[in-house]
């Protein structure tokens, strides 16, 4: 199978009403067949970026290219992309099979061919046994699978997914995350997936683009964004880090690399325990440094916590290895 979906966004901007900037100078290249997550808080520009790729938003400046073809002036149907919307947008009066086949019907594909193709796609997503049901007879996860099959029937070079897991309960979200990863590997096309979930991006992506206030804060592998955050915003948004001032400037330290020792009177790193959260595989101990009120979290294994259970109101000394501390830009 040929890998498709070599995608480039060259200095892309999106402006509204002249001076409102939704996306500022988005400049990235994504290899064909990669899984890309556009990550960030609400209003950061990630959905506007996705919609510009799809053709549902005009591009104010810059260029989008897919497998060498410029997309700026092409309508959505001729771009070689398909978009799966957040609300799935299934037709309630059509069966599952007819929902999947709808775009082929609109293009004049004969009934036998589109019926066969829709069943192939339903089999791919494990929904062929429910082909005659209506959308209101399906669970949220089943509806999502139908929406995926409908998007894929056009054989796009890039599949664009706008918060595809946000409507699902946590257990189903994890299951469907695995399904998306499997489909992307089998199809070998580029997936561009918008999410505000750090966990989702870390689990799925080959490449994460973290956006903030219309610009890219950092782009790289999930490992790079979590272990090598470039800015304070990246460290705080990705979570799992303490951000604090050291003698040589602003630094970050992973919470699971933060150690707690019994209080020895060292005022510099003395802290008071504020709360304890048992989270299954680890225990988060929240603390406040007494010298300046800086918040810290120490993520302890349940074994370490059981050896030394900490209680609110106790004093502790914060400790770590120097090689676990990284400087970051403000």
Closest CA to 295 of 238, 257, 255: 255
Q: By the 8 A CB rule, do 226 and 42 touch?
A: no
**283 falls in which pLDDT band (50, 70, 90)?**
very high
The residue-averaged pLDDT of 183-196 equals 95
pLDDT of residue 1: 58
pLDDT of residue 103: 84
Tell me the pLDDT of the chain averaged across its residues: 93
pLDDT of residue 228: 95
The residue-averaged pLDDT of 29-50 equals 97
The residue-averaged pLDDT of 36-40 equals 98
**294 falls in which pLDDT band (50, 70, 90)?**
very high
Residue 18 has pLDDT above 80, yes or no: no
Output phi, psi for 214, to 5 deg. Answer: 80, -5
Give the number of C-alpha atoms closer than 13 A to the C-alpha of residue 211, restricted to the C-beta side. 28
Q: By the 8 A CB rule, do 288 and 271 touch?
A: yes
Percentage, residues of the chain above pLDDT 70: 100
Handedness of CA 28, 34, 39, 44 (dihedral sign): positive
Residue 231 has pLDDT above 90, yes or no: yes
Distance CA 103, CA 65 (A): 24
Strand partners, 12: 26
**57 falls in which pLDDT band (50, 70, 90)?**
very high
Distance CA 97, CA 117 (A): 10
Q: Is the pTM of this model over 0.85?
A: yes
Residue 315 has pLDDT above 90, yes or no: yes
DSSP structural state of residue 238: H
pLDDT of residue 107: 82
pLDDT of residue 246: 80
Residue 70 has pLDDT above 80, yes or no: yes
Distance CA 200, CA 179 (A): 13
Closest CA to 91 of 50, 139, 150: 150
pLDDT of residue 144: 87
pLDDT of residue 271: 96
pLDDT tens string 119-147? 999 998 889 999 999 999 998 888 888 99
**318 falls in which pLDDT band (50, 70, 90)?**
very high
């Amino acid at each position: 199978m040929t890998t498709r979906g070599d995608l480039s966004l060259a200095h892309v901007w999106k402006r509204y009403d002249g001076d409102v900037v939704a996306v500022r100078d988005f400049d990235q290249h994504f290899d064909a067949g990669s899984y890309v997550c556009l990550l960030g808080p609400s209003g950061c520009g990630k959905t506007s970026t996705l919609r510009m790729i799809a053709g549902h938003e005009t591009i104010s400046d810059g260029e989008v290219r897919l497998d060498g073809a410029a997309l700026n002036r092409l309508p959505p149907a001729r771009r070689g992309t398909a978009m799966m919307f957040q609300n799935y947008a299934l037709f309630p009066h059509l069966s599952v099979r007819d929902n999947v086949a709808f775009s082929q019907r609109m293009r004049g594909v004969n009934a036998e061919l589109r019926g066969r193709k829709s069943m192939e796609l339903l089999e791919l997503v494990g929904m062929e046994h429910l082909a005659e049901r209506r959308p209101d007879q399906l669970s949220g996860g089943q509806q999502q699978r139908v929406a995926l099959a409908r998007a894929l029937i056009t054989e796009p070079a890039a599949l664009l997914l706008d918060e595809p897991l946000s409507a699902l309960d946590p257990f189903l979200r994890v299951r469907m995350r695995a399904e998306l990863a499997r489909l992307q590997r089998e199809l070998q096309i580029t997936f561009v997936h918008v999410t505000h979930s750090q966990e989702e991006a870390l689990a799925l992506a080959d490449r994460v683009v973290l956006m903030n206030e219309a610009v890219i804060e950092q782009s790289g592998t999930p490992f790079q964004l979590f272990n090598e955050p470039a800015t304070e915003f990246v460290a705080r948004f990705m979570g799992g880090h303490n951000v604090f001032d050291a003698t040589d400037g602003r630094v970050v330290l992973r919470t699971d690399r933060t150690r707690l020792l019994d209080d020895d009177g060292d005022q510099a790193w003395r802290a008071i325990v504020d709360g304890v959260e048992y989270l299954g595989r680890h225990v988060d101990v929240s603390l406040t440094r007494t010298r300046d009120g800086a918040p810290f979290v120490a993520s302890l294994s349940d074994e370490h916590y059981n050896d030394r259970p900490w209680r609110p109101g106790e004093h502790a000394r914060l400790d770590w290895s120097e090689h676990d501390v990284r400087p970051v830009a403000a």
